[in-house]
Structure 1
Amino acid sequence: MTPAPPQHAPETTAAPSRRAPEAPPAVATVLLARSADDAAETVTALLAQSHLGDAPGAADRRQHTVLLVDASPSGLDVDAVLAPVREAGLPALSTRLDPRRGLRRSLPELVESLPTHAGRRDLVWVLTSRCRPRPDALHALVAAVSRGVVMATPKVVDVADEGVLVRQGLQVTRAGRLVPTPVCGERDQGQHDDSVDVLAGPLEGLLLDRDEYLALGGHDPALGDLGGDLDLGWRAQRCGHRVVAVPTAVLAVRPWPVERRPGLRHRAQARRVALARGPLWAAPVRALGGALLALLTSLALLLLKRPGLAREELALVRGSLDPRTLASLRRRGGRATVDRRELATLFVPTARARQRLADDIRGHHPGAGVGAPASGAEATGVLRSPVPLLLLAAVAMSAWAGRQITGELRHRFDAGLVGGELLGGRATSGSLLASWRDAWSGAGAGSGLERSPAVLLLAAASWVVEHVPGGGDADSPAGVALSLFVLAALPLGAVVAYRSARVVTTARWVRALLALGWISTPAAAAAAGEGRVGPLLAVVLLPRVAAGLVRAARRGLGISDAVRTALWAAVLGSLVPALAVPVLLVGVALLLLGRPGRRGRGVVLLALPLLLAGPWLLTLRAEPERLLAGWGATARGPLPEAWRLAAAAPGGPGEIPLWWYLPVALLALLGLLLARGPVPWVAGLVVVLGAAAAVGSPFVVLGEVPAGLADAGAEVHPWPGVGGLLVALGVLSLAGLGLAALPAATSWARRALQVLPVLVLAGGVVGSAALVADTGFGDELTTWRDDRPQIAVDAAEGPLAGRTLSLGRTDDGAITYRLVGREAPDLVRDLPAPLVDEGLSDDVAALLGVGPSGRTPVDAALGAWGVGFVTMHDPSSDDQVAVDATPGLRRLSTSAGTTTWSVRPESTGSTTPSRVRYVEGADGARNLVGLRDHSESTGVLRVPGQGRVVVGEPIGWTEHAVVTGDGAPLVLDTRSSVPTYAVPAGTRGVEIDVRTGHAAWKWLVLGSLVVGLYLALPTERRPDPQEDQ
């Protein structure tokens, strides 16, 4: 458009000149008006400028021209708006802005239409009707425009609170990433006043040199509004001019949303400017590289659940590939005299841009809190937080109570612990992964039962141990991982309980006392002293899961917290299945009775634990008694009296007189009486159900210990400590609710009475923790050592995959035995599974001379199982004589009380037997090598031709394994008592493959885990801390 002819323009004939330093510059104001009221306020602020009042006479006032640009949709009453200007004696002009053209496109024409002044430097001040400059703003800007400075930008603040910054110049990286500094909303404490030189400034409030602006060609309309402002300053810098920020010139505005956070359009414009002002020859490479990097960053942000930030990165992709940038590449505007490298200090460093992106990912506002009063928690400081003292007390209590355990581990740490509920054994991440993956798995002869997902978690922990320097040489990485958990469980449980207690009280020291009381309960101490891994995990996770269930029933929280709760519940349920049942019930209740928001959480709490359980659900359906068992969650033998069980005292190490817990019980009663809402009643219900579970555990028989194991025939009960943990959780929650429900103190006497219950809680908790530490966890746990000689270990882990038969006798003389191979054993006692090693018990009895010999010699029978060694700890003389007299067995050595015999059957040519043999004819047999867990071959087993392949596994193994010869399935001989396959003539190789159990289902488990972990990432919205109250 062509601007409307200016009205009342004074005549000027002299050529412009800026070479008279004795004359002050002449200033003209271009005011873009969008509404009459706002324009009138801006005119009032303009006339209040001290720079105009400093003029010595009317002639100087008339040199400040005001050009009103009408940009309103329906047109303004220009005369009414400019009336105060004319009354003040300032020249006033007006024009109409074409709606199809923006201010930046028309500004060169508007500037050219302004009068010039001979002997003076002509400056143009650009304002809009939302600008409210302080009275000294123009004076400060004019003073800053010295020789070499062609643009001066003010400090922009919020008109509603002028102590809040909006912007101060434009800040970008060299690659064109906007990094506003200061951030809109940051408190102004002068922290940015030392930033003088800037790359560019926004057009609003900008004071610019008329001649240099026109020489630069004005704004580039192809780059947009912010892009045009940034490009103008960038080109001015390249031409040897300066752009400065003037912190003493303050301009107040009502911030736009794009000023609070740059929009997608502005981000794309900044990237286009960076490409346009870069080297022409490098533009294609920079464009493609920048687009690829922004695209990868966007995908990463999507994975981190930051869709808003991902869209901003996609805007950079769009800016990099925008074809309109080609037109701006040719627009240079002025002669570049400054090398690009000399402008490096004007750009935001890449490290600061990365830090800003990291802050955005965490949801941290860089300007939040700068100059603002700190919150109560922050103002108190880290040193006043009870967490360090709580952690110190928990570590001290756990270390002193477990002094016997740590003393044992100091001598040998690389094999883990044994004793109590820990069984010990060699296990690596690979063997544990195979036991979860394969359809036939488990120690000894194995079984077809699906394993708990806890095996997969232990495999992951073992992998970490193996990759720690020195951890790969450990005898049992899984045993080391379990030992570390047993040692760290109570301190870790204290920290988790402290954080989780926010749902019952916000008082930090009360939460610390509740957390210390949680880990010093009899059930927690007994679990640590007996190595009960499942209950110890409950000590760590049960408060978190309970707090998550409480939050899931409240309003205002997103789905992420419910997903995290479901994940922790799935982990806890994989070791102690009974504790996952309440989570599923809460999920059902929210799904059926909750509002729409809560129904989504109910679906998560119900579906995710079941999805992550996977095929293990089939084992629980086939043996439902396992729902009440778990890793270390079973008990054998006599249990304490019912009243002690109801008081959450399951018996075992670390138990102290129960009257020490009486103060906490009294406070729990206070909470039940004073606290309001459903939470105290739910906590009371948890106490009742936990006490019922503990008292009823002696009456629930899950099964009997099978023959061949220690305590054969003994009844197996649920461990009452699981119910005891529920009782302790409910009682401590009620105590915290009771303290939180006390009325606010209005006098010193009431304040003293209010402190009294806290002191009672502190006395009971600290006293009980001290007594638990002094009593100790006992000496049931000690370091595990493999009773097999190294030659037997090498045979098991070598290509023969040999086994060792470990024999023993109980105090009453009963024989115990187990097959030990390369498979991962059960490291923690659970509900025992029946032995599936058909006929092996008869062979053991014949070996020790207490049973008749079968049709197959004992050495041949043992060789058929791949048993190459027999061990027995402290054998009696009769047992030694019986084993020594067995053909094919030869005593090797006795070490640490364990005697070892080698098994060299005549059927295998008196060599160490393998689990898989090739039998040719009636007599000839030879070992096939290249095996791993449960006789699975590592490759092709070469065979000479027609014959039979005999596998040392139970018959049930054949339902889960495939044996092929040259790729064709071999026929199973159903008349044989061991898996035997006929090999047709001409067969050159045999392969044995143990199938993956329910492969599709397990892939679904892994997929659900990945999705769950993704959904568990915190969302961009942070919940209000008051929502927990």
Structure 2
Amino acid sequence: MSEHSNADFAAGYPAAADAAGRPGTTAAAPGGGTPAFPRHVVTAVLVSHDGERWLPDALAALTAQERPVQSVIAADTGSADGSARILTEALGAERVLHLARRTGFGTAAAEAARTAGVLTPDQLPYLRRPSGWDPVSRSWRDDAYDMPEFPHGEPVQWLWLLHDDCAAEPDALAAMLRLADDMPSAAIIGPKLRSWYDRRQLLEAGVSIAHSGRRWTGIDRREQDQGQHDGVRDVLSVSTAGMLIRRDVFDQLGGFDARLPLMRDDVDLCWRAHKAGHRVVVQPDAVMRHAEAAARERRSIDCMGRSGQTAKGASPHRVDKAGAAYTLLVNSSTAALPYIAFRLVLGTLLRTLAYLVGKVPRQALDEVAGLGAVLLRPHRIAAARRRRGKPAVPPGDLKPLFPGRGATVRVTVEQVLSNFSGRSEPELSGGGRHGGAVETGPGDDDADFLEVEQFARLKRVARKPGPVLFAVLLLVALIACRELIGGGTLIGGALLPAPADAGDLWSSYADSWHPVGTGGTQDAPPYLAFLAGLGTILFGSTNAALTLLLVCSVPLAGFTAYFASRPLVSSRLLRAWGSVAYAFLPAATGALAAGRIGTAVLAVLLPLLARAAVAASGLRGRASWRGAWAYALLLTVTTAFTPVVWPLAALLAAALAAWAVVRGRSPVGPGLRQLAVLVTPVVLLAPWSLDLLTEPSRFFTEAGLDATADDVSPLGLLLASPGGPNAGGSVLLAGIVLAALAALLRSDRRLPVGAAWAVAAVAGLLAAAGAGDGWTGPQTLVYGLALLAAAVIGADGARHRVAEQSFGWRQPAAVLVAVACAVGPLVLAVGWMWRGADGPLERGGADQVPAFVAEESRTSDQPRTLVVGGSAAQVEYMLVRGAGARLGDAELAAAGGGNSRLSGTVSGLVAGSGADQSAELGAYAVRYVLVRNDAPRTFGRVLDATPGLTRLSQQDGGALWRVDARVSRATVVAGDGEGQGAAEPVPVAAGPVEVHTDIKDGPEGRVLRLADAASAGWQATLDGEPLEATTVDGWAQGFELPAGGGRLDVTYDTAVTHTAWTWARGAALLVVLVLALPGRRRDVDDDLPEAGTPAIPAQALEGDGRRARRLRAQAAAAEAGGAGAPGGAGAPGGVPGAPPMPPAPPGSPAVPGAPDEQPAWAAAPVPGAGQAEQGYGDTAVADPYAAPPQGYEWDGTGYGGQYGGTSYEAPYEPQYDAGAYEGEQRPGAPAVPQQGGQGYGDGEQDPYGAGQYSGPYYDQRNYGAGAERDGSDNA
């Protein structure tokens, strides 16, 4: 380096230099004049840490400033690359501090500022008034004596903080100093930051922080700078990358907080400046580029100390999280501190859960560890708050500088919507949040364009039939279910009324004791948990959950079928037809009409289940474990509602294993996945699922009452009709069966069509096996979907195949089948909409007994009602409590097995034995006997003649009798336990399950009798003393009472094993859910141009065809011309005819990557950094920042030296690809001029703006999308 270039660098104009040519400490304007904004004395402080890749640009931008700095000093924090060498060669050894590698940015900046010192007027003579001596006339000028001592004003000392990965535009410093002149109250001024590579992309124009710790910029992700954020304004903080801060303010605040070595130190410093009464403003006219190297994991973070350090450096996410928590806790007001702490903890828990669901456990751990590192050291927070003292500005004055209420929530919702809609965030967010001028409406010139744009939007909606299809099906369903919409509860058919609150369903599922009939400890059906979960999401309303699953089952089934058929065929018309046909299958509409909640849920989930099954089996592409877990999760839910799905899945899994063996493939991998799929529902639904395995006939049941169905003929099963309501029009589906048969003729679709028919055959066999025992809706639903899948696959492209053949019987047959397929579902839909959802399901009251009976059941006696129905040959009865049976009670009663003594009592009651039945019924706390309207009339006559019963009323064909004797759930009986002793049973006040009352003294040997089945979980105490349990009448729970009275407490204690297993099932279900959900999308570095699809060169083909001969000729020509030569066929990027590279200049190294005579930092071209722009004369000395001639022994980065193209070893996985910045070239490979989007293009192209992204970087928005980013990169 020449002395001239070294000396000139310090300020960009001729300066005093020592004998060695190093920069001096005094400066003057170019040509020796006064610089612009002369009263401002600026000292540039540059901190470097493994920044060899960016330092040349940063140094070039510094020397190219239109208004140069007065002094510059750099601090290198133990860089492992050539950063220290670059700084020393550029600035001189005396202007470079070498600090430890663990030194943070704030510490390094403070040490550099202290070392640089304050430039005095003695060192900068232009600050003082001139002496008055005129060297031309050799006389003194009197006017100099009238000037003040400082003619340009009192000098103001500034520190310009710079990162090694930021580069300022030539007018950046001048713009900030101009603002300092116009706004003397501004103590901290920050520039507008753009991306390093994408120079139009905005990063920051001021920074704030939310109460949750999010870094808030008010800028959307990938938002382009169009001037929408231009405008000088007060902000909470500006980034340390380019921060201009008054030295006195910096000293007053004590510099940066040592507890924030990196990230959020800028927010903390500026927040303290605000509290001290200073202003922080942003100057958008000052523009800088920032690479955010640490935040994007382009280099390691080594300044966090041993506790936060790993072998690969600290995690940026953890560092930023800890910095955010610390900044909020030490700077917030005392009154807001509890709320801030609560928001931090709650937000951390939610984000941790989100990261776990997104399968990024490292960031979930960083969330917890970052917050814990701060909260577990409260003494540091207390000490920092004491150091800050009492603020000079009320906290309320700073409120406008923070994000508005709900802003972060809105951004999070936008991010979730963008993920689900499949659109990128820029497309979703548009132009940004801070718009410029807003028009009140379109002008005359824009009206036509707006009309066309609205029409185009309608066309876009029309091209996406999914939402339109759902809207149409929903409209049809609302018309058909017009009688099922309104107040009341859905009841009828197989559906029992559900409790009003979802919490009651949770209790029914989780409790170990179920007060159904005489009570029992049987396992609750697991579908109650899924209904309770849906009801909880719908604000605790089970009625809304049932309405959604039943009334909306048809449109939801059509929508899921359309969504799941996307990989099946490409034709949207065929997918829409198949979805409509599936939605109006008799099993789907019949399930709605009959209140069969199980089949309705299966209709909605079956298409998704089928798609997951295909993904897990590998029939389309490579099988995946995520698909297997999704399949297992959906199979678990559907099995809980319709158990017959599980054996169907087991049969298909066996068929897949056999198919793999036949094809000669190893069945181990698919077998393990299928085994996991089948075992998962058994484990998650145990012990209920174990009862299914021990009693296989229960596989043919489903959720709800075991309501009988009409007999179905074999023809009906063939046409996918299970019988019951809405089964009469199944003949209209004959076209679907014919289309599925015709699909077998497609030789090119043999595998998918054959698989669909295999599923249809298995489902048809199961439907035939269960046809005589009840409802076969689930089996026929699977059968119908399989037929539709075969028909759709066969019809895809069938029109062209039929048209290619000569006219014959195929064309008329295809037309007839197509018409039948199209007309059939439409006729079914119109008919269903016209007649309504005709069936036993209705909306009415939930009480199944008269109102006064339901009210009396809530008294302290807890009386019950015996409901009798059926026929003379087979009497049906149910012992109900309260207002009647509720959802889930039918399965609990069936699982309990009944009470043989009660069955005998009911048989004797309806047989007319003539004996007094009041004592027998009283033993079960039965006060009322209700005979249903479907019971024979003889039942009423027999009960009228039974002693101890009194008829009360008769409504709708049903009759009600009352037991004359007083009955109660809890009674004190004689010691023999039979209740027939000398003393009458004494009623005891009780609740539905527990008893808490006072009892009086009595005789020895008395027993407390409960009208509930005996169980080991019952516990009773009298004045705190345990009572001995006993069994009364061979089935009822009893406790031996002493003669004395006291406080009686009877409870049922749930076993610890039951509670633990319930929680274990919930945790296992959550794990399966996480495994089934798609992982977080790979983060794409926003600061790189998105790489297009690489062109695949055509290979010469074997054969004698024209194309093969042409390709072989091209390959031969390329070899003859030198495949590796520039512009040849083998040139990178495939650019034909590229001009040859110029010869290497004299003295250039002959070996690629060898050291050059130029310093390593003299590489990157920066516009405006030439000699003419800096006031230099024409000289033969090489410009130290001139770009090297392109094409000669380029090392890939322009830095040369031993580091080649990577400059440092990337410390994180996944690593960035050095080729992403080199156009996929290796270090030392020659660059290709004008390569298509790679390497160097023309003289003005950014040498870093090329290449292709080949690995994810650190997401700059750890706390949300759009307006938040992880933190300012301060290294």
The alignment's TM-score, normalised by the length of structure 2, stands at 0.61
Tell me, in whole angstroms, the C-alpha distance in 1 between the residues paired with 2:559 and 2:792. 16
1:800 aligns with 2:869: no
Tell me, in whole angstroms, the C-alpha distance in 1 between the residues paired with 2:251 and 2:1042. 97
Note if contact 2:574-2:792 (Cα within 8 Å) is conserved in structure 1.
yes
Note if contact 1:918-1:928 (Cα within 8 Å) is conserved in structure 2.
no
The residue number in structure 1 matching 2:952 is 892
The residue number in structure 2 matching 1:730 is 786
Alpha carbons of structure 1 residues 98 and 286: separation in structure 2 relative to 1, 3 Å? farther
1:924 partner SS: coil
Note if contact 1:182-1:367 (Cα within 8 Å) is conserved in structure 2.
no
1:76 aligns with 2:85: yes
- CA-to-partner distance for each residue in 1:992-1022, whole Å, 9 max, x for gaps? 9796787624541243214524763667614
Per the TM alignment, residue 648 of structure 1 is displaced from its structure 2 partner at its CA by 1.0
- Paired letter, 2:834: D
Which of these residues, 108, 111, 116, is aligned with residue 105 of structure 1?
A: 111
1:146 aligns with 2:181: yes
- CA-to-partner distance for each residue in 1:669-701, whole Å, 9 max, x for gaps? 687748879766543332221122223334xxx
Q: How does 1:465-544 map to 2 (within 5 A)?
A: 485-504=549-568, 511-544=575-608
Q: Which runs of 5+ in 2 are unaligned?
A: 1-9, 11-16, 128-151, 298-314, 433-452, 804-810, 1085-1275
Note if contact 2:176-2:189 (Cα within 8 Å) is conserved in structure 1.
yes
Alpha carbons of structure 1 residues 156 and 916: separation in structure 2 relative to 1, 3 Å? same
The residue number in structure 2 matching 1:694 is 767
Tell me, in whole angstroms, the C-alpha distance in 2 between the residues paired with 1:977 and 1:824. 27
Tell me, in whole angstroms, the C-alpha distance in 1 between the residues paired with 2:530 and 2:458. 40
The residue number in structure 2 matching 1:867 is 926
Tell me, in whole angstroms, the C-alpha distance in 2 between the residues paired with 1:546 and 1:631. 21
Structure 1 vs Structure 2: percent identity of aligned residues?
A: 24
Note if contact 2:682-2:690 (Cα within 8 Å) is conserved in structure 1.
no
- Paired letter, 1:773: M
Per the TM alignment, residue 69 of structure 1 is displaced from its structure 2 partner at its CA by 4.2
Q: How does 1:881-920 map to 2 (within 5 A)?
A: 882-904=942-964, 910-912=965-967, 916=971, 918-919=973-974
Tell me, in whole angstroms, the C-alpha distance in 1 between the residues paired with 2:1079 and 2:549. 33
Tell me, in whole angstroms, the C-alpha distance in 2 between the residues paired with 1:268 and 1:719. 60
Note if contact 2:418-2:428 (Cα within 8 Å) is conserved in structure 1.
no
- Paired letter, 1:918: V
Q: Which runs of 5+ in 1 are unaligned?
A: 53-62, 83-91, 469-476, 699-715, 748-752, 905-909
The residue number in structure 2 matching 1:706 is none
Note if contact 1:937-1:992 (Cα within 8 Å) is conserved in structure 2.
yes
Which of these residues, 274, 299, 303, is aligned with residue 349 of structure 2?
A: 299
The residue number in structure 2 matching 1:945 is 1003
1:766 aligns with 2:826: yes
Which of these residues, 491, 496, 510, is aligned with residue 417 of structure 1?
A: 491
Tell me, in whole angstroms, the C-alpha distance in 2 between the residues paired with 1:317 and 1:622. 50
Tell me, in whole angstroms, the C-alpha distance in 2 between the residues paired with 1:645 and 1:488. 25
Tell me, in whole angstroms, the C-alpha distance in 2 between the residues paired with 1:922 and 1:24. 112
The residue number in structure 2 matching 1:398 is 477
Alpha carbons of structure 1 residues 144 and 1000: separation in structure 2 relative to 1, 3 Å? same
The residue number in structure 1 matching 2:1241 is none
Tell me, in whole angstroms, the C-alpha distance in 1 between the residues paired with 2:826 and 2:987. 63
**Cα root mean square deviation, aligned:** 5.6
1:264 aligns with 2:318: yes
Alpha carbons of structure 1 residues 814 and 67: separation in structure 2 relative to 1, 3 Å? closer
Per the TM alignment, residue 256 of structure 1 is displaced from its structure 2 partner at its CA by 1.2
Tell me, in whole angstroms, the C-alpha distance in 1 between the residues paired with 2:500 and 2:60. 83
The alignment's TM-score, normalised by the length of structure 1, stands at 0.74
Tell me, in whole angstroms, the C-alpha distance in 2 between the residues paired with 1:133 and 1:494. 57
Note if contact 2:916-2:948 (Cα within 8 Å) is conserved in structure 1.
no
2:475 partner SS: helix
Q: How does 1:767-786 map to 2 (within 5 A)?
A: 767-774=827-834, 776-782=836-842, 783=844
1:571 aligns with 2:637: yes
Q: How does 1:618-767 map to 2 (within 5 A)?
A: 618-631=690-703, 636=708, 639-655=711-727, 657-658=729-730, 660-661=732-733, 664-665=736-737, 673=746, 681-698=754-771, 717-735=773-791, 737=793, 765-767=825-827
Note if contact 1:496-1:541 (Cα within 8 Å) is conserved in structure 2.
yes
Tell me, in whole angstroms, the C-alpha distance in 2 between the residues paired with 1:224 and 1:426. 57
Note if contact 1:697-1:718 (Cα within 8 Å) is conserved in structure 2.
yes
- Paired letter, 1:802: P
The residue number in structure 2 matching 1:311 is 366
Alpha carbons of structure 1 residues 587 and 359: separation in structure 2 relative to 1, 3 Å? farther
Alpha carbons of structure 1 residues 500 and 999: separation in structure 2 relative to 1, 3 Å? farther
- Paired letter, 2:228: Q
Q: How does 1:176-215 map to 2 (within 5 A)?
A: 178-182=215-219, 185-194=222-231, 196-207=233-244
The residue number in structure 2 matching 1:86 is none
Per the TM alignment, residue 573 of structure 1 is displaced from its structure 2 partner at its CA by 1.6
Tell me, in whole angstroms, the C-alpha distance in 2 between the residues paired with 1:426 and 1:35. 66
Alpha carbons of structure 1 residues 808 and 192: separation in structure 2 relative to 1, 3 Å? same
Note if contact 1:942-1:990 (Cα within 8 Å) is conserved in structure 2.
no
Alpha carbons of structure 1 residues 616 and 77: separation in structure 2 relative to 1, 3 Å? closer
- Paired letter, 1:536: A
Alpha carbons of structure 1 residues 594 and 997: separation in structure 2 relative to 1, 3 Å? farther
Q: Which structure is higher in helix share? A: 1
- CA-to-partner distance for each residue in 1:834-879, whole Å, 9 max, x for gaps? 974446566556555x5655xx644443344433333445688866
Tell me, in whole angstroms, the C-alpha distance in 1 between the residues paired with 2:754 and 2:331. 68
User: Which structure is higher in RCO with an 8 Å CA cutoff and minimum separation 6?
Assistant: 2
Tell me, in whole angstroms, the C-alpha distance in 2 between the residues paired with 1:914 and 1:455. 27
Note if contact 1:290-1:317 (Cα within 8 Å) is conserved in structure 2.
no
Tell me, in whole angstroms, the C-alpha distance in 2 between the residues paired with 1:842 and 1:276. 76
- CA-to-partner distance for each residue in 1:932-960, whole Å, 9 max, x for gaps? 56x87565766722356596869x75788
Note if contact 2:491-2:841 (Cα within 8 Å) is conserved in structure 1.
yes
Tell me, in whole angstroms, the C-alpha distance in 2 between the residues paired with 1:234 and 1:637. 73
The residue number in structure 2 matching 1:165 is 202
Note if contact 2:599-2:778 (Cα within 8 Å) is conserved in structure 1.
yes
Alpha carbons of structure 1 residues 7 and 885: separation in structure 2 relative to 1, 3 Å? same
Tell me, in whole angstroms, the C-alpha distance in 2 between the residues paired with 1:832 and 1:772. 34
- Paired letter, 2:766: A
1:928 partner SS: strand
Alpha carbons of structure 1 residues 558 and 189: separation in structure 2 relative to 1, 3 Å? farther
Note if contact 1:646-1:695 (Cα within 8 Å) is conserved in structure 2.
no
Note if contact 2:749-2:794 (Cα within 8 Å) is conserved in structure 1.
no
Note if contact 1:635-1:717 (Cα within 8 Å) is conserved in structure 2.
no
Moved more, 991-1000 or 592-601: 592-601
Tell me, in whole angstroms, the C-alpha distance in 2 between the residues paired with 1:605 and 1:794. 48
Alpha carbons of structure 1 residues 332 and 598: separation in structure 2 relative to 1, 3 Å? farther
Tell me, in whole angstroms, the C-alpha distance in 2 between the residues paired with 1:65 and 1:439. 80
- CA-to-partner distance for each residue in 1:167-213, whole Å, 9 max, x for gaps? 33443358976334446744333332235433443344345567776
- CA-to-partner distance for each residue in 1:527-571, whole Å, 9 max, x for gaps? 222222221221122223333334445799998876665454333
Tell me, in whole angstroms, the C-alpha distance in 2 between the residues paired with 1:46 and 1:345. 34
- Paired letter, 1:610: V
Alpha carbons of structure 1 residues 989 and 498: separation in structure 2 relative to 1, 3 Å? farther
Per the TM alignment, residue 724 of structure 1 is displaced from its structure 2 partner at its CA by 0.8
